Chain A
Amino acid sequence: MSEEQAVAGTPAAPRAERRVRRRGPVSWIDLRGRRLGGWAFVLNRATGLGVLLYLYLHLVVLSLLAGGPSSWDGFILIATNPLFLLLDVVLLFGLLAHGLNGIRVSLVGLGIVVDRQRALFVAFFIIGFIVFLIGAVRILGETGGG
């Protein structure tokens, strides 16, 4: 198995990725000698943290529901402005990147398609890109209500 084929988190993972894990999150910004497995590892962790942050922000926003119709329906007007919708597009990217890469890591970790990791990465990238484009157009189409 080549270094590029190795999956994030496996003993066969590239040296660069092992360095990332050993040195902790601080090394995520170290771009030296990084290969596909290393990038996938960093992307998975970074998008995971981003989505977790969003989860708690979402919970804070949902707290407006406790204030009743005036509180929530007023928020809906703000939520359909373009800046807010752009954040939704960023969220969609994070969910797709984390979800699809998570499937790849899980499949390989369970011993499935171990020798097709690079192909799997490319396939999920294409699927993710298409879904992202469709979703982004759909989300941004909500600007101004409609």
Chain B
Amino acid sequence: MTDRASTRDDAPAGRDVQDTPPEQPEAGSRTVGWLIQVITGALVLLLVTLHMIANHFIVPNGLRSFTDVVDYLRTPIVLFFEVTFLVVVTWHGLLGLRAVLFDFGLSRRTERAITGVLAVVGVVTVGYGLWLTSVVISWA
């Protein structure tokens, strides 16, 4: 059974997903959603491993001092990696939360509202993270 559409982890509860025959993959946004969840999940796994090693495991006491954080984030490749991590982990996390909320068997209208709210939360989260990063980098 290789039907990836009906094996996605963000499928809403009690809907057509569990009842979709394996040979009839469901097309559309939910399939895309599942693939995005898999791709962002793989990226998160890679980036969180690098993040933990770089920021905690190879650093004395497990945390960088303020001066070290500034120096660390001022390195272009590190900045790219940390910003990518922020975007990807936020996306993956909120898409996962959406999947859990959809398990309550909500109406389509409520599901759309939740998607909208979580999209705003995601933008605000990434925006705040970028602002915080800019404050640290520009610290005199």
Which A residues are within 8 Å of any B CB, using their own CB?
A: 1, 7-13, 18, 21-25, 44-45, 48-49, 51-52, 55-56, 59, 62-63, 65-66, 68-69, 72-73, 76, 79-80, 85, 88, 95, 99, 102-103, 105-106, 108-111, 114, 135, 138-139, 142, 145-146
Asked if B103 contacts A146 (CB within 8 A), the reply is no
B129 within 8 A of A: yes
Asked whether, in the complex, the Cβ of B1 is within 8 Å of the Cβ of A1, the reply is yes
> Contact: B1 with A49, CB < 8 Å?
no
Once the chains bind, are B67 and A108 in contact (CB under 8 Å)?
Answer: no
In the complex, what residue of chain A is closest to B64 when comparing beta carbons? A76
Contact A80 B63 (CB under 8 A): yes
For the complex formed, measure the closest distance between the CB of A129 and the CB atoms of chain B, giving whole angstroms.
17
Chain B's nearest CB lies how many Å from the CB of A119?
Answer: 17
Identify whether the interface residues of B are mostly helix, strand, loop, or mixed: helix
Chain B: CB-nearest residue to A41: B9
A146 partner residues in chain B, CB cutoff 8 A: 60-61
Residues of B within 8 A of A105 (CB): 7, 9
Rank and list the top 10 A-B pairs by shortest CB-CB distance, nearest first.
A111-B2, A109-B7, A69-B66, A52-B93, A72-B66, A24-B104, A10-B7, A22-B14, A142-B62, A106-B38
A22 in complex: contacting residue of B18, B21, B139, CB < 8 Å: B18
A8 and B9 contact, Cβ closer than 8 Å, known pairs A24-B105, A55-B89, A68-B139: yes
The contact of B132 among A9, A48, A62, by CB within 8 Å, is A62
Q: Cβ of B66: which chain A residues have Cβ within 8 Å of it? A: 65, 68-69, 72-73
Asked whether A21 lies within 8 Å of B132 as measured between CB atoms, the reply is no
A112 to B68, CA, bound (A): 43
B4 lies within 8 A of A109 (CB):
yes
A selection of 5 A-B contacts at a CB cut-off of 8 Å is: A11-B18, A11-B20, A66-B132, A106-B42, A109-B9
**Pair A95/B48 contact, Cβ less than 8 Å:** yes
Indicate if B33 sits at the interface (CB-CB under 8 A): no
Point out the residues of chain B lying under 8 angstroms from A62, CB to CB. 132
Given A10-B7, A11-B22, decide whether A66 and B125 contact each other with a Cβ distance below 8 A: no
In the complex the two chains form, what is the Cα distance from A146 to B62 in whole Å?
Answer: 9
Asked whether, in the complex, the Cβ of B93 is within 8 Å of the Cβ of A23, the reply is no
Contact B63 A9 (CB under 8 A): no
> What's the minimum C-beta distance from B73 to chain A, rounded to whole angstroms?
9
**Chain A, Cβ-Cβ closest to B42:** A106
Chain A residues closer than 8 Å to B7, beta-carbon distance: 7, 9-11, 105, 108-109
Contact B1 A11 (CB under 8 A): yes
